[in-house]
Amino acid sequence: MAKPSKRPTRVEALQAVIDSECTAPTCQQSGTCRHEGEKAAARHMLERLLKKLSIAAENQADEHAKTWADIYARGYDSHGSTYRKGAKYRAGQPMKERTAGIRADIKMARMAGKAPLVKDGPGLVSQALGTYRFDPIGEAPDQIKIRVHIGAGYGSIRIRIDNIPQEWGWVAEEVTDYRDEKMTRWTPSQALKDLKGELKAVGEAYNADHGSNTMTDCSARSFFVFVDADDPDTLARRAVHQRNSRARRTG
């Protein structure tokens, strides 16, 4: 007999990760839990989600403001305490740890993204339409690959978005170039812009920017975060280039 499904919402899924007590024997023996990174990633994600929900909940013009306010309220525990914040930036944190943290944040967002933001019920579909703006990483198409690596010279972290469905990520515009020939110009869709912005925010959370001062031109940033995504033209050019160099090698 099928019971009515009680799928946890995205907020509940994250809270469950944060609140779960580790029972792994290896962690209990060693006294330090290897799963702390997972909890930290869940806290980071909940923090991002709740910040966006609180802004939407206060937007009088948003017809779903009440719904967003309800979901926002569920981000607090029964004592009214907020989700437990995780401090991300640590002075002198090795770049390897930062990239690992960013990777864990992205993985957690994509995992939690499988749970619905809005509870099952009437009106779910119309509400769900607007949810991507709260969670661009969780709502990104499954086929998309997101990779994080340390940039050359250890001064940057690069986040690459690959395998983007063309119709999801790019808007084609027919324009006339300087030789009066027709060409297609690709601009990122709103969904891709949102995803890039969110990934940048996740990366920047590990950055320090206390004390940057434009007056003295002193930048206290410890590294830069770049988010890269190739448009269909660049992808096509790269494919041709790879075919050619392969032909040269074998021929």
Name the site residues for Zn ion (rule: CB under 5 A).
Answer: 22, 24, 27, 33, 35
Give CA–CA dist 133/6, Å, rounded. Answer: 25
- Of 225, 206, 210, nearest to 86 by C-alpha is 206
CB closer to Zn ion out of 111 and 201: 111
CB of 91 to Zn ion, least distance (A): 26
Q: Output b/e per residue, 127-147; b: 16+ Cβ within 10 A.
A: beebbbebbbbbbbeeebebe
Q: Are 207 and 225 in contact (CB under 8 A)?
A: yes
Would you say 204 and 220 are in contact if contact means Cβ atoms under 8 Å apart?
A: no
Minimum CB separation of residue 44 from Zn ion in Å reads: 18
Structure tokens at 67: 């719904």
Q: Is 150 helix (H, G, I), strand (E, B) or coil?
A: strand
Judged by CB, which is closer to Zn ion: 28, or 219? 28
Q: Strand, coil or helix: what is 208?
A: coil
Q: Which is nearer to Zn ion, 22 or 208 (CB)?
A: 22
- The residue among 28 and 212 lying less far from Zn ion, judged by its C-beta, is 28
| Strands laid side by side in the 224-229 sheet | 145-150, 156-162, 224-229
Confirm if 8 and 39 have CB atoms less than 8 A apart: no
Nearer to Zn ion, 86 or 232 (CB): 86
Closer Cβ to Zn ion, 100 or 220, answer by number? 100
CB-neighbour burial class of residue 160 (10 A; exposed 0-12, middle 13-18, buried 19+): middle
